[in-house]
């Protein structure tokens, strides 16, 4: 809402105000020019309009009882049918729930359930499409993105796999094995600069086998046609481990000689 009504620059201004030590009410007043109570009221009105259609399928919650309404009923029915292994009927219930509230991203979100049913039926293409629908909505969906990446790989869709891995790195940028996985996907895409970026990241995160990581960086630099940097890197690897055969072979390849 803030981006739409005040522009993206307001978000940056808020970050700067927080950096300067202001608390939230003061940030709202300084950057947006409104008090906290007014912003809450504006947000309530905006959200009611933004989600007007999905809200018709939900009974206002009292904070105590179970959720009610057409959407909750469709979800409950779908789970019961899924537990009874009545997959086609469960699929229809979850599809109905998805139509009622397309942007719902709870743990039992319809796209996740539809992906599960598709996997049980051996339909990887439908499963990955449903997961993609979910991961486009939830920016912190680690498990769904991980599953989507795996399915893309099984389907031979390397660009799709790489895109899912990129989203996972936004969630966990310090995951060294994940950087290595993305480097591998980028190599299959012949995307030299991205391979170099990911091999550098994996090395910076302190891998257990540092020499192997440096060797992989040298390979990436060579692939990206940065021959001088690749040569420097591989020579440093060989200084530390003269008997490293893969590094010897790569240096010979750089020199244009057969190992």
Residue-wise pLDDT for 182-231, tens only, equals 999 999 999 999 999 999 999 999 888 999 999 999 999 998 999 899 99
For residue 59, what pLDDT is reported? 85
Interval 33-66: pLDDT, tens: 999 999 999 999 999 999 998 888 988 777 777 7
For residue 58, what pLDDT is reported? 86
Under CATH, which architecture does the 66-166 domain have?
Alpha Horseshoe (1.25)
Average pLDDT, the chain: 93
For residue 257, what pLDDT is reported? 66
| Cβ contacts of 211 within 8 Å, gap of 6 or more | 237, 240, 241, 244, 247
| Cβ contacts of 194 within 8 Å, gap of 6 or more | 162, 182, 183, 186
CATH 1.25.40.10 residue spans of the chain? 66-166
pLDDT for residue 67 is more than 90 = no
Q: Is the alpha carbon torsion for 96, 100, 102, 106 positive or negative?
A: negative
């Amino acid at each position: 809402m803030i981006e739409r009504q005040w522009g993206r620059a307001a978000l940056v201004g808020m970050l700067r105000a927080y950096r300067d030590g202001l608390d939230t009410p003061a940030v709202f007043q300084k950057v947006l020019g409104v008090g906290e109570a007014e912003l809450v009221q504006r947000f309530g009105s905006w959200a009611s309009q933004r989600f007007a259609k999905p809200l018709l399928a939900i009974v206002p919650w009292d904070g105590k009882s179970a959720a009610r309404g057409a959407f909750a009923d469709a979800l409950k029915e779908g789970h019961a049918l899924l537990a009874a292994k009545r997959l086609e009927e469960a699929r229809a219930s979850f599809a109905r729930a998805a139509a009622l509230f397309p942007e719902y991203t709870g743990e039992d979100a319809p796209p996740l359930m539809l992906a599960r049913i598709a996997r049980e039926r051996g339909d990887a293409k439908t499963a990955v499409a449903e997961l993609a629908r979910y991961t486009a909505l939830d920016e912190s969906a680690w498990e769904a993105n991980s599953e989507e990446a795996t399915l893309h790989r099984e389907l031979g869709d390397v660009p799709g796999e790489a895109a899912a891995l990129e989203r996972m790195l936004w969630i966990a940028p310090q995951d060294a094995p994940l950087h290595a996985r993305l480097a591998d996907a980028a190599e299959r895409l012949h995307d030299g600069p991205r391979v170099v970026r990911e091999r550098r990241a994996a090395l910076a995160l302190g891998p257990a086998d540092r020499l192997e990581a440096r060797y992989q960086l040298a390979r990436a630099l060579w692939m990206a046609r940065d021959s001088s940097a690749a040569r420097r890197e591989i020579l440093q690897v060989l200084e530390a481990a003269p008997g490293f055969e893969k590094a010897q072979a790569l240096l010979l390849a750089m020199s244009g000689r057969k190992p």
